[in-house]
């Protein structure tokens, strides 16, 4: 009889989590409060590790974990796990990204109501012995417009609660289709329209390069005077200094933050600002949410150890042992193509098509499709992986199409990813060199061969003499070294594409200078 998998629960969790492990055929030890050296001494005997935020799974811990096969985080954030190193050691890292969605949504609604009626200040002054009845004049939420920045899992729950409060809801989300908006009962809008219409704004988006400071000083100035703002999503989505200025000027009537750019936020520019309330990152802090994530992580770890099932893994797709060696190079190519088109395509993204030709057409398309979606949606979600990417795409109303072509073209194998945007279809294609090395071969209809790796710069310019020298000089004068240089064009003298790999990221100021070069139409930084 084979030995039972052994699991360590190293952070305090609901006791039912341990019971789930036992019921599913695992041995389990609950040993919490371990110091790093104590964890190192015992971790080698365990196949699975269930944690929350207290346990730090560092390189040193992983080196000592000679039998560890899976790490499960009860919750979303995995900053306390060295995922790249765990991956290099063949350890699966899982999280539970949806276990606290309702709790976080409810906290956002609670913060909105607290702002509307100035409850924290009224409570403080009343308990201080005052009776400041005339000092507080609130506003009703009934009939007001709520602007959702992000209409995914948590945002859609907030929308349903707001509609129940008889509010109007306007939503901005690149993945929100008209059909999904109708289903949710919200009005789909661009960001500027939302800012102009909303009486309340709540944020429900991850922190990415696209969303960092999405409520900048410039965008705060576009909001309706008297707007109230709630952020229970991620710190860094709001320019905190600009928000303080807007509160002090009275343009923003109130703000409620559960998250900050730097945490713990023991000293923040917003502290003491008028009509500002805050909580110490309590979005997921309810009994129900903590029970949910504990039970989910136990189920996921047990399923993996006992039957090989993979759910919400952050560093591996759903693959059988037989398929994995052949599929992995294709999945690497697929993720890079998805990431590329996700970074370059803009507008109303409604449909994505994944085409496989030649040798790729003979393979299992699901992992390739999931890899494309994972790369594509990483621009908008910091919890996406190859397992949950198809679910997230479906939730957002994205129409995903997978097409298999029997014919073989110029390349022995080819993947093509096309997204439908409001400006028309945008397509990229790639192949494998030597059946291993991913290579881009076409971008938006222009043939160009390039590796997709590290920091890159995408430029569309008029094909004219002298441009290569100008861009090279500009980057060189600013200390940016070019690794590789890739050119493509439709016809001589027409539109040309330039892909540069850079040894370091490019600043916004330098990007603006590149935009000002004669003949330049588009400049965008890329990261892989």
Q: What is the DSSP string of 41-109?
A: HHGGG-SEEEE-SS--B-HHHHHH-TT--EEEESSS--TTB-HHHHHHTT-EEE--TTTTHHHHHHHHH
| pLDDT tens digits for range 483-507 | 998 999 888 878 899 999 999 999 9
From residue 274, alpha-carbon distances to 121, 243, 277, 440 in Å are: 10, 11, 9, 52
Pair 429, 336 in one domain: yes
Shared domain for 151 and 268, answered yes or no, is yes
State the CATH number of the domain containing residue 513: 3.30.70.260
Q: What is the pLDDT of residue 1?
A: 42
Contact 258, 283 (CB under 8 A): yes
Residue 312 belongs to some domain of the structure: no
Establish whether 346 is a catalytic residue: no
**Do residues 238 and 141 share a domain?**
yes
In this prediction, residues 158-162 reach a mean pLDDT of 98
d(CA 438, CA 461): 26
Q: Is 329 helix (H, G, I), strand (E, B) or coil?
A: helix
Residues 293, 363: one domain? no
Segment holding 513, helix H or strand E:
helix 508-515
User: Each residue of 396-433: pLDDT tens digit?
Assistant: 788 999 999 987 778 899 999 999 988 889 999 999 99
User: In sequence order, what are the beta bridge partners of 520?
Assistant: 461
CA-based nearest residue to 349, from 423, 416, 427, 460: 423
Cis before 264? omega within 30: yes
Sheet architecture: strand order including 495-502: 482-489, 495-502, 455-462, 520-527
Question: Looking at the domain assignment, is residue 449 inside a domain?
Answer: no
Is 141 part of a structural domain of the chain? yes
**What angle do helix axes 153-164 and 101-117 make, rounded to 10 degrees?**
50
Going by C-beta distance under 8 Å and a sequence separation of 6 or more, which residues neighbour residue 308? none
- Residue tagged active-site, from 263, 288, 362, 477: 263
* Model confidence pLDDT, tens digit, residues 11-67: 999 999 999 999 999 999 999 999 999 999 999 999 999 999 899 999 999 999 999
Look at residue 319 in the predicted model and tell me its pLDDT.
Answer: 61
Task: Tell me what pLDDT residue 320 has.
Answer: 54
Q: Answer yes or no: is 1 within a domain.
A: no
> Under a CB-based contact definition with an 8 Å cutoff, are residues 175 and 349 in contact?
yes
Give residue 243's pLDDT band: very low, low, confident or very high (50, 70, 90).
very high
Q: Are 104 and 114 in contact (CB under 8 A)?
A: no
What CATH number should be reported for the domain holding residue 147?
3.40.50.720
Which of 234, 396, 416, 426 does the annotation list as catalytic? Answer: 234
Is the per-residue pLDDT at 150 higher than 90? yes
Among positive and negative, which fits the CA dihedral 271, 272, 275, 277? positive
* Residue 303 pLDDT exceeds 50: yes
Same domain, 92 and 134: no
Q: Around 178, how many Cα atoms within 13 Å sit in the side-chain half-sphere?
A: 4
Active site (annotated) includes residue 73 = no
For 254-275, the DSSP string reads EEEES--SSSS-SS-TTTT-TT
**In percent, how much of the chain has pLDDT > 70?**
97
User: Both 162 and 267 in a single domain?
Assistant: yes
Residue 144 lies in a domain: yes
Which of 505, 510, 471 has its CA nearest to residue 487?
471
Indicate if the pLDDT at residue 219 is higher than 50.
yes
Residue 266 belongs to a domain: yes
Residues 301 and 322 grouped into a single domain: no
Alpha carbon of 490 to those of 148, 169, 178, 444, 448: distances in Å?
A: 41, 44, 34, 10, 10
The residue annotated as part of the active site, out of 180, 281, 356, 426, is 281
User: Does 234 participate in catalysis according to the annotation?
Assistant: yes
Find, among 527, 465, 520, 474, the residue nearest to 501 by Cα. Answer: 527
Residues 14 and 53 in one domain: yes
How many whole angstroms separate alpha carbon 8 and alpha carbon 6?
7
Give the chain's domain count. Answer: 4
pLDDT confidence band for 366 (50 / 70 / 90): confident
The helix/strand/coil state of 450 is strand
Residue 138 and residue 258 share a domain: yes
Which of 444, 468, 488 is the C-terminal boundary of a domain?
444
Do 336 and 385 lie in one domain? The reply is: yes
Specify the CATH number for the domain of residue 413: 3.30.1330.90
Task: Return the closest-CA partner of residue 401 out of 422, 384, 417.
Answer: 417
112 and 259 co-located in one domain: yes
Q: 73: domain range?
A: 6-98+288-307
Does 290 score more than 50 pLDDT?
yes
Q: Is residue 283 part of a domain?
A: no
Per-residue pLDDT, 353: 96
| 325 vs 98, higher pLDDT | 98
Q: How many Cα atoms are found within 13 Å in the side-chain-facing hemisphere of 194?
A: 26
In a domain, 364, yes or no: yes
Interatomic CA distance for residues 50 and 52, integer angstroms: 7
Q: Are residues 270 and 149 in the same domain?
A: yes
Starting at the edge strand that comes first in sequence, how are the strands of the sheet with 92-94 ordered?
Answer: 27-30, 6-9, 48-51, 70-73, 92-94
């Amino acid at each position: 009889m084979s030995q039972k998998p052994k699991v360590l629960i190293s952070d305090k969790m609901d006791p039912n989590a341990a019971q789930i492990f036992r019921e599913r055929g695992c041995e389990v030890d609950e040993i919490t409060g371990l110091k790093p050296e104590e964890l190192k001494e015992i971790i080698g005997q365990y196949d699975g590790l269930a944690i929350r935020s207290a346990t730090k799974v560092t390189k040193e811990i992983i080196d000592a974990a000679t039998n560890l096969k899976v790490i499960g985080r009860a919750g979303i954030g995995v900053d306390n796990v060295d995922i790249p190193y765990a991956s290099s050691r063949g350890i699966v890292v899982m999280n539970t990204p949806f276990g606290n969605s309702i709790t976080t949504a409810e906290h956002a609604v609670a913060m909105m109501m607290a702002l509307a009626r100035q409850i924290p200040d009224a409570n403080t002054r009343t308990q201080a012995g005052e009776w400041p009845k005339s000092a507080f004049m609130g506003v009703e939420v009934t009939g007001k417009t709520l602007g959702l920045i992000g209409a995914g899992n948590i945002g859609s729950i907030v929308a349903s609660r707001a509609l129940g409060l008889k509010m109007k809801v306007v939503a901005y989300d690149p993945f929100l289709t008209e059909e999904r908006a109708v289903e949710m009962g919200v009005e789909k809008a661009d960001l500027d329209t939302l800012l102009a219409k909303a009486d309340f704004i709540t944020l429900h988006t991850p922190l990415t390069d696209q969303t960092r400071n999405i409520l900048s000083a410039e965008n705060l100035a576009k909001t309706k005077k008297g707007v109230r703002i709630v952020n229970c999503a991620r710190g860094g989505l709001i320019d905190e200094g600009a928000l303080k200025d807007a509160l002090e000027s009275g343009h923003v009537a109130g703000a409620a933050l559960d998250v900050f750019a730097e945490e713990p936020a023991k000293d923040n520019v917003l502290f003491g600002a008028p009509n500002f309330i805050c909580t110490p990152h309590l979005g997921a802090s309810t009994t129900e949410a903590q029970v949910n994530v504990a039970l989910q992580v136990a189920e996921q770890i047990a399923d993996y150890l006992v039957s090989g099932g993979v759910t919400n893994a952050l560093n591996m797709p759903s693959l059988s042992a037989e398929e994995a060696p052949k599929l992995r190079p294709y999945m690497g190519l697929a993720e890079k193509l998805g990431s590329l088109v996700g970074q370059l395509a803009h507008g109303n993204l409604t449909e994505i098509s994944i085409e496989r030709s030649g040798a790729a057409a003979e393979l299992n398309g699901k992992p390739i499709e999931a890899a494309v979606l994972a790369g594509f949606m990483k621009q908008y979600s910091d919890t996406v992986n190859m397992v949950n990417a198809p679910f997230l795409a479906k939730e957002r109303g994205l129409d995903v199409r997978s097409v298999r072509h029997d014919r073989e073209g110029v390349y022995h194998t080819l993947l093509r990813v096309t997204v439908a945007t409001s400006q028309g279809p945008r397509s990229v294609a790639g192949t494998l060199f030597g059946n291993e090395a991913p290579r881009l071969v076409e971008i938006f209809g222009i043939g160009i061969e390039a590796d997709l790796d590290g920091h890159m710069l995408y430029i569309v310019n008029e094909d004219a003499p002298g441009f290569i020298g100008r861009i090279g000089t500009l980057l060189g004068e600013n200390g940016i070294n070019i690794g590789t240089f890739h050119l493509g064009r439709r016809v001589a003298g027409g539109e040309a594409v330039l892909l540069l790999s850079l040894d370091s990221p490019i600043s916004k100021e330098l990007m603006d200078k590149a935009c000002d070069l004669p003949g330049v139409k588009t400049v965008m930084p890329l990261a892989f």
